[in-house]
């Protein structure tokens, strides 16, 4: 169980500067302290596993705010995931040597190492969760698809920018190889849907995860300033929701206020 953006840090790059001037660091958020969630006892006893997808924002001091669940494979996992996330500590993302605020998209994986399953296979299969986001990294990119800012950095609307998405879709292992129809759409603050990407993704035999990577233009359909949702589906089922913030002028956009537009997650009934 770990936050997705702790998996791979954004490579430090040099900003444009006069010859001989020191390079100015650009990097993703760095995790200083991790807190593991408490595994719900009822889920442990029944060998239930799964993921919780959370979103929030990390300010220029590295403080996490507005932790909000967007998806889960089991309702019991949500509260311990949120409580653990609030105890994580970070160093802020850096852009050209200055700390910047960013979106936080992350997931907790609830797994039982070495769990023995002696019950019939049909019963074991009934507990395996549907595909769900396990890792997610979203960065602004140039026309060639190269990252131009840290993970979670805002998208600039109307500037010919692209969005680059790298994700892991966690799946229940199966002995035979298979494939998933994966789709990603952006939902504007007012609910407008902008299709971003779709493809058939191969899952290797006994694999527990499959990777997704693509770039898409931040085109004229991105008409609103605010926090946008990125909804992932796998075989037409919800596979989790991440967020990005986009604005014509990100420096003047009130990101904290934009987070208030997110609809709260509600557990299944």
Higher pLDDT, 197 or 260: 197
Residue 261 binned pLDDT confidence (cut-offs 50, 70, 90): confident
Phi-psi region of 43 (alpha: psi -120 to 50; beta: other; left: phi over 0): alpha
Q: Is the pLDDT of residue 165 over 80?
A: yes
Q: What is the C-alpha to C-alpha distance for residues 160 and 55, in angstroms, rounded to an integer? A: 26
Give pLDDT tens digits for 226-245: 999 999 999 999 999 999 99
Mean pLDDT of 91-114: 93
Q: Is the pLDDT of residue 194 over 60?
A: yes
Mean pLDDT of 171-189: 93
CB atoms within 10 A of CB 172: 17
Q: Is the pLDDT of residue 3 over 80?
A: no
pLDDT at 31: 95
Strands 155-156 and 162-170, how do they pair?
Answer: unpaired
The highest-confidence range among 4-8, 19-23, 119-123, 139-143, by mean pLDDT, is 139-143
Mean pLDDT of 44-51: 92
Cβ-contact 230, 184 below 8 angstroms: yes
Q: How far is CA 161 from CA 10, 19, 190, 229, in A?
A: 18, 28, 22, 18
Q: Is the pLDDT of residue 131 over 80?
A: yes
pLDDT at 203: 94
Q: What is the C-alpha to C-alpha distance for residues 51 and 111, in angstroms, rounded to an integer? A: 9
Q: What is the mean pLDDT of the chain?
A: 85
Q: Is the pLDDT of residue 221 over 90?
A: yes
pLDDT at 86: 95
Mean pLDDT of 173-202: 94
Q: Quick one: how far is CA 223 from the chain centroid?
A: 23
Share of the chain above pLDDT 90, in %: 72
pLDDT at 99: 95
Q: Is the pLDDT of residue 5 over 80?
A: no
Q: Is the pLDDT of residue 155 over 50?
A: yes
Mean pLDDT of 128-139: 89
């Amino acid at each position: 169980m770990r936050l997705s953006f702790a998996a791979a840090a954004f490579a430090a790059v040099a900003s444009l500067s006069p010859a001989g001037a020191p390079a100015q660091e650009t990097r993703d958020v760095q995790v200083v302290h991790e807190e593991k969630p408490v595994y719900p006892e009822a889920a442990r006893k029944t060998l239930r596993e799964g993921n919780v997808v959370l979103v929030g924002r990390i300010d220029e001091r590295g403080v996490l705010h507005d932790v909000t669940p967007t998806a889960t494979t089991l309702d019991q996992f949500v509260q311990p995931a949120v409580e653990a996330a609030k105890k994580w500590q970070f160093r802020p993302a850096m852009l050209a040597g200055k700390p910047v605020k960013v979106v936080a998209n992350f997931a907790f994986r609830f797994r039982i190492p070495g769990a023995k399953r002696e019950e019939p296979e049909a019963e074991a299969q009934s507990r395996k969760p549907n595909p769900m986001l396990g890792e997610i990294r979203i960065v602004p990119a140039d026309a060639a698809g190269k990252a131009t800012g840290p993970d979670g950095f805002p998208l600039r609307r109307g500037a010919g920018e692209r969005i680059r998405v790298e994700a892991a879709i966690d799946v229940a292992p199966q002995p035979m190889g298979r494939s998933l129809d994966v789709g990603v759409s952006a939902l504007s603050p007012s609910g407008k849907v902008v299709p971003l990407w779709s493809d058939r993704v191969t899952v290797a035999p006994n694999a527990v995860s499959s990777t997704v990577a693509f770039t898409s233009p931040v085109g004229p359909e991105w008409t609103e300033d605010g926090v946008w949702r990125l909804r992932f589906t796998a075989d037409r089922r919800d596979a989790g929701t991440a967020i990005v913030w986009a604005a014509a002028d990100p420096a003047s956009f009130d990101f904290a206020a934009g987070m208030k537009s997110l609809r709260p997650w509600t557990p299944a009934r």
